[in-house]
Structure 1
Amino acid sequence: MTNLAELVAGSVESRDGTSIGYWKTGQGPAVVVLHGSMESARSHTLLAQALADDFTVYLPDRRGRGLSGPHRHDHCARTEVEDLEAVLREAGATLAFGVSASGAIVLEAARTLPTLRRVAVYEPALVADGTPHAAWLSRFDQEIAQGNVAAAMITSMYGLELAPAIFKVLPRRLLAAITEKAMQKEDRKAGPDDITLRKLGPTVHHEGALIVELAGRVDEFRTVQADVLLLGGSKGLSFLKPGRDALAKVLPRSRVIEFDGLDHGSSSDPSPINSTGSADAVNRIAVEVRSFFGANR
């Protein structure tokens, strides 16, 4: 199995000139693995490790994180696709994986780019019925503007239906205070280049805006020519499952797999915000992704 100490950094320019950095490891055909919300390129190191014996894995940082440049005022789904396209071109890749918000990006890329041959997405953030799930964004933006990242994170967890059941019985102010203490502890231990929760918090605005932009547009994916693997967990986000079911009906070539016992974060490394993550869960997903990407190659 490839050692992740062999990760090599690189970068490309997106269409608007923004630098998009990535980490690369492995050998074989190129696969681009795109991280989700409140994550960075390093959030899928376990998945990269599981694929690296058979594939050259590219792990880009989406804008606002790590090796990549900042968001611009006109950031939208097209910007995300252009960033992904730049990495695909650099890698010579026709295979891509995405999770949650980046799953939606990968599907939009498959719809608009001719180069993608196979894509795998884990619980893509496509809302089937057009419900915007955007009422929280104005409060989130106000809290970020006030420098209250902890409160904004609680707001986004409610807005994106990520809050555990216990959050419903605890006051928001208490939850924000607990979150702030956890962030301060992480800040004290972090190096200057570490991607902390405080740094990631403001990026959630763009994830919410992306969900709103693509909501209710599942039917547009009828034109996707790539083979698509639709993945999810039995304990995943319930409001995303109708979109996944609708995609299965409209995509010309797709396969659906639901993993018993896995949740929305199961494709990602364990972290402070992914406490249920595990190497076992990642490996279960990797087995299916490896088989799908390797078929008839």
Structure 2
Amino acid sequence: MSDTTSARTDHLLRGGRVRSADGTMISYLTRGSGPVVVCLHGGLGSALSLLPLSAHLADEYEIVMMNLRGHGTSQWGQSPPAIAHEIEDILAVVEAVGPLRALFGYSYGAVLALETALAAPQRINKLALYEPPLPVTYPIPDPALLETALASGDYEQLLLTATTGSGGLSPTELAALREDPLWPSKVAHAPTLVPTMQVLAGLQPTVEQYAAVSVPTKLMVGTTSAPYILEAADLLAGAIPNLTREVLHGQGHHVDHQLLSRSLAAFASDRAA
């Protein structure tokens, strides 16, 4: 096989499944070859959300894109939502695809990655985070409101409640949200927000516990993200002793994948960012 053919084959999407500790089947997609980087998507996302990022990294790394439980083709949990089960899922994938060069999490996935490094530092070599919405500053909505909207099938209301608080938007503001090409996908995935918020609500609303995270950590943030995101990043940067921080200027929570990939690749390979 020629080098060109081999490289083309390496970029073909592959997949796998593992059974987590409580029996939940967790799926993942893989692209590329080289040191393994496991990536965790954000809320309302799936492994598909990470495909653009993987396209920039597949020449150098094997990118493993998890579907968190209840997302993508992973099963809804066999146990009530809790951070312990999310960590078990991640470690099951790490065990299946390792050895691991780095664990990367985006948004909600960054919270899960951080908690995994705290719970099992011996299993994580490096930790990379993009804008974790930590409960120390994140305005977690009332779970009862979300569950009511879910029970009645009001997916759009559920999404609005989770992302805007009361969901009391003007018609003009709602119309602007609906102009987002991703809005229908977000609405379709709105039920996943209920367990997501339950997991976040179960975490300590502090950052002091993360001082015990001992692995090399890189925290990446944009400059135009919501204040609660940037405030949490400031607090986290002050808590973790072995942390470097990179600010991606002009970026927000929906970050340019090429810029993000450069930062992640530099950290995973020990190059200067």
TM-score of the superposed pair, with normalisation by structure 1: 0.80
Distance 2:10 2:140 in 1: 38
1:226, distance to aligned residue in structure 2 (A): 0.8
1:73, distance to aligned residue in structure 2 (A): 4.9
Query: Which residues of 2 match residues 49-60 of structure 1 at below 5 A?
Result: 49-60=55-66
Name which of 18, 31, 39 aligns with 1:33.
39
Alignment coverage as a number of residue pairs:
263
1:12, distance to aligned residue in structure 2 (A): 0.7
In the alignment, structure 1 segments of 5+ residues that lack a partner are 187-195, 267-280
- Asked if structure 1 preserves the Cα contact closer than 8 Å seen for 2:129 and 2:218, the reply is yes
Residue matched to 1:12: 18
1:175, distance to aligned residue in structure 2 (A): 3.1
1:118, distance to aligned residue in structure 2 (A): 0.6
Distance 2:31 2:70 in 1: 22
- Asked if structure 2 preserves the Cα contact closer than 8 Å seen for 1:128 and 1:242, the reply is no
Q: What secondary structure sits across from 1:28 in the alignment?
A: coil
- Asked if structure 1 preserves the Cα contact closer than 8 Å seen for 2:69 and 2:75, the reply is yes
- Asked if structure 2 preserves the Cα contact closer than 8 Å seen for 1:10 and 1:23, the reply is yes
| Identity level (%) | 25
Name which of 39, 45, 48 aligns with 2:51.
45
Amino acid at match of 1:112: A
Distance 2:134 2:13 in 1: 31
Q: Tell which deviates more after alignment, 115-124 or 243-252.
A: 243-252
1:139, distance to aligned residue in structure 2 (A): 1.6
Residue matched to 1:235: 224
1:105 and 2:80 equivalent? no
Distance 2:158 2:33 in 1: 41
Amino acid at match of 2:119: T
Query: Which residues of 2 match residues 58-77 of structure 1 at below 5 A?
Result: 58-77=64-83
Query: Which residues of 2 match residues 253-272 of structure 1 at below 5 A?
Result: 253-266=242-255
1:175 and 2:185 equivalent? no
Amino acid at match of 1:159: G
Name which of 193, 206, 209 aligns with 2:198.
209
Q: What do the CA deviations read for 1:48-105 (whole angstroms, capped 9, x no partner)?
A: 1111111111011111122211134521111111111111111112411101111010
- Asked if structure 2 preserves the Cα contact closer than 8 Å seen for 1:32 and 1:59, the reply is yes
Distance 1:263 1:34 in 2: 18
Residue matched to 2:266: 291
1:199, distance to aligned residue in structure 2 (A): 3.8
Distance 1:64 1:201 in 2: 11
Root-mean-square deviation (Å) = 2.8
